[in-house]
Chains A and B, each alone.
Chain A
Amino acid sequence: MISYAGKIVLVTGARRGVGKLLADYFLRHGASVIGFSRHADEAPDAPGYTAIAVDVGDADSVARGFEQVRRQFGHLDIVINNAAVLTSQYAMIMPAGAAKSMLDTNVLGTFLVSREAAKLMRKSKWGRIINIGSMAASLEPMGDSVYAASKAAISTLANVMAKEFAALNITCNTLGITAIATDMLDQLPKDKVDKVIAGLPLPRYAEPDDIFNVIDFFASERSAYITAQTVFLGGAN
């Protein structure tokens, strides 16, 4: 039985979708969970859960959020970089603003949160930084040029940070998830997603347990010698 009792876990984009699934999962297994989201005030109260309003793409907002974490919790064990924005559109008609928003949240946000997390983790010389990637990074579907690039970027980000943080016993890995029934999926045409899923070696939608299994491994002591790795669900690489 997995237990995260005594662990402080930060999940970005925790208010809905995969972030909410993960926040609830860590809570059920005994962790103290901090949820970063733009509208933390709408987050439900739950024992062990602390919602903090943070725009991960804004450096000042992230710094304020981590200052609160530092004062309230003193340290941090596990970070799940989940916050992401998705606009699916053919490149020739993709608005620059939508592209920038994806890069700000998905790439810059992951960088800023990882950077501040490592500052907290280094004192205890233990930490796990886990990025939520996407099958889009490897399958490179039409319409997802910027989103796919942003998800490929966070794997690279994790790989480089893994080297920088290795001496601090902080590992950095990426989980490339496939489509799972969340509100983000509702933004995409179902026939298009079905077609992509049908092309996977394991052609089905992801279930929450598929995600939890890999997260448990990356977050555990057992993965102490595993860093700078990307695992794709469903054989999506």
Chain B
Amino acid sequence: MTNKESAVLDLIYQTLTTLNEERSADEKIEVGPDTCLFGERSVLDSLSLVSVIVDLETLVADKFGNAISLTDDKAMSRDPVPFVDVGTLKAYILEQLG
């Protein structure tokens, strides 16, 4: 894994960890490369997913200096959408960062 890949993965984990900090013990989600964020197997409700996406966009902008959108028309027209799980999310962010 390159430094950039590792940095992006850390940011994703950071947002999920932040989310866990706001949750009670029995609501905490498992954080890992296969964590499912969207769809039937998702561990997040819709509001939590929104929080994760917004936090992540901010963190990526701060870390890399590039504002990216994970929910613009391009992202939302993909099948599957980029935030279906941690792996696809990481790949999409790296693609956007170029």
Q: List the interface of chain A (C-beta within 8 A of B).
A: 59, 63-64, 67, 70, 119, 122, 167
Contacts and interface: CB of A to CB of B under 8 A. Distances in A.
B61 interface: yes
A67 B61 contact: yes
- Main secondary structure on A side of the interface with B: helix
A122 B54 contact: yes
Interface string B49-68: 00100100010010000010
Given A119-B54, A122-B54, A67 B67 contact: yes
A70 B58 contact: yes
Of all A-B residue pairs in the complex, the 10 with the closest CB atoms, nearest first, are A119-B54, A67-B67, A63-B67, A167-B47, A67-B61, A122-B54, A63-B69, A70-B58, A122-B51, A59-B72
Interface residues of B, number: 8
- Main secondary structure on B side of the interface with A: helix
Contacts of B69: 63
Interface of B: 47, 51, 54, 58, 61, 67, 69, 72
B77 to A, nearest CB: 15
9 contacts: A63-B69, A64-B67, A67-B61, A67-B67, A70-B58, A119-B58, A122-B51, A122-B54, A167-B47
A61 to B, nearest CB: 12
Contacts of A167: 47
B69 to A, nearest CB: 7
B91 to A, nearest CB: 22
Given A63-B69, A67-B67, A122-B51, 8 more contacts: A59-B72, A63-B67, A64-B67, A70-B58, A119-B54, A119-B58, A122-B54, A167-B47
